Structure 1
Amino acid sequence: MRLINSRQAWHDAYYPNIKSTTSFGLDSLQLGIVVERPLKHHNTYQIIHQWLAGKVQHCIDVLPIPLQCFGHYLYSPIATAYDLDVAHELVWSILAKQIAQSHLNKENQQKAYWLVRAALKSYQTLVVNKKDYLKKPQKIIKFIKDNYQVELQYSDWKKVWQPLYNNMLFICNELDKQALIPISSLIKQFKETN
């Protein structure tokens, strides 16, 4: 594992089938093994990977649970539906405070709730794949209708939904920055010592 950037480190720290440093260490202690040289199935690269993964996982563990889930949804290869639900509720809780002061009626507020899912998906594909496949309003509207059976009118997009959607993406970006701070600090620390 190389510490190239925070997003890559988050992903690699949870790559499946690789035990964390803590897990390997506990297994060794329970078995009474002192590892003087790596076992055949634990080559030097794997041991370094596990050590770095443990460091990154520790950085993630210091975050509040909602931010952990938000980051897991974006970057972890083992993210779950629970991570998506918590990330959604986190973005919605911030947005709902802003919507309460706006002119949106109840029906549109319910639609906005599901529009958050499109914003999360859009943001994820943008930061992970560097390409946003939900860039056009037609694709966003289709995504919401196909996945959540919520209909948004294209004629209302620029006036009602576009500003709201842009705000959702802004919230995602701010939460992403917060979630990556501990890992960025770790990477900076490693670069300064090497």
Structure 2
Amino acid sequence: MQLNSARQAWHDCLHTPWDSQGVFIEQLGLLGTMVQTTEKQRKASHAVHQALAGGIQAAISQLAGSIKAFGHFMYAPRLDVDTQEDAQEAVFTMVQQRSPRMTAAKREKLEYVVKGVMARYRYMHQGGQSANDDPLPTPEGFRAWLDAHYGVRLESSNWDRDWAGFVTLIFECCEDLDKQALSPVAAAIYEMRSAA
């Protein structure tokens, strides 16, 4: 495990190497049962990985539930539906707190706009260095994506008035939650590097 960035460290500390899973699956297929062997990872590199991963996992465990869910949504190697929904709820709640009052119909659509912007944000920041471009930079592309994925139609006639501000706000909320999630991980990385 390399401590290059907080994003990469979050992913790597939760990653299980495929070789150990491959052996497990192979044993299940061949024997119909699992056979414990003593040849499990006994290399020094594995022990170092486990020690570093433990430090990062300890930093993650200190986070509030909604912030931790957002971090797992963004960087965990496996994402379950419950964690994804918790992360979406955290962003949706933050957006509502920072937004003016709105009708129930608009709030219902806003929930899907949040999901769409979060998918965009996740794509842009995957890989650890935030190097990906926005996959849906135009309102037309984003509206078409929402319609295709969720069956939600947003009117184009008043996009700037009705939705552009919300899209910007959702990105800002994602950035705020991202910083809150990654700060303790970055601090743990700094501490580990200083101790080395």
Name the TM-score, length of structure 1 as normaliser. 0.83
CA distance in 2, matches of 1:115, 1:46: 42
How much has 1:41 moved relative to structure 2? Answer: 3.0
**1:61 corresponds to which letter in structure 2?**
S
How much has 1:121 moved relative to structure 2? Answer: 0.7
**1:134 corresponds to which letter in structure 2?**
L
CA distance in 2, matches of 1:121, 1:135: 12
- Tell me what 2:186 maps to: 184
Q: Per-residue CA shift, 1:84-111, capped at 9, x if unaligned?
A: 1001100111112233x34x33212211
Q: Is the 8 A contact 1:71 1:179 kept in 2?
A: yes
How much has 1:191 moved relative to structure 2? Answer: 2.5
Structure 1 residue 45 corresponds to structure 2 residue 45: yes
SS of 1:134's partner is: coil
**1:149 corresponds to which letter in structure 2?**
G
* Residues 98/41 of structure 1: CA separation in 2 closer, same or farther (3 Å cut): closer
* Residues 81/48 of structure 1: CA separation in 2 closer, same or farther (3 Å cut): same
Question: Runs of 4+ in structure 1 displaced over 6 angstroms?
Answer: none
Q: Is the 8 A contact 2:143 2:153 kept in 1?
A: yes
- Aligned ranges for residues 92-111 of structure 1 at < 5 Å? 92-99=92-99, 101-102=100-101, 104-111=102-109
- Percent identity between matched residues is 27
In the alignment, structure 1 segments of 5+ residues that lack a partner are 20-38
- Tell me what 2:158 maps to: 156
Q: Is the 8 A contact 1:122 1:135 kept in 2?
A: no
SS of 1:112's partner is: helix
How much has 1:176 moved relative to structure 2? Answer: 0.5
**2:183 corresponds to which letter in structure 1?**
I
- Tell me what 1:128 maps to: 126
How many residue pairs get matched? 174
**1:169 corresponds to which letter in structure 2?**
F
Q: Using CA pairs under 8 Å that are at least 6 residues apart, name the structure with larger relative contact order, 1 or 2.
A: 2
After superposition, the CA RMSD in angstroms is 1.9
- Tell me what 1:166 maps to: 168
CA distance in 1, matches of 2:40, 2:65: 37
SS of 1:172's partner is: helix
Q: Is the 8 A contact 2:56 2:189 kept in 1?
A: no
Structure 1 residue 143 corresponds to structure 2 residue 164: no
* Residues 6/17 of structure 1: CA separation in 2 closer, same or farther (3 Å cut): same
In the alignment, structure 2 segments of 5+ residues that lack a partner are 21-38
How much has 1:134 moved relative to structure 2? Answer: 2.0
How much has 1:56 moved relative to structure 2? Answer: 0.8
Q: Is the 8 A contact 1:3 1:9 kept in 2?
A: yes
Name the TM-score, length of structure 2 as normaliser. 0.82
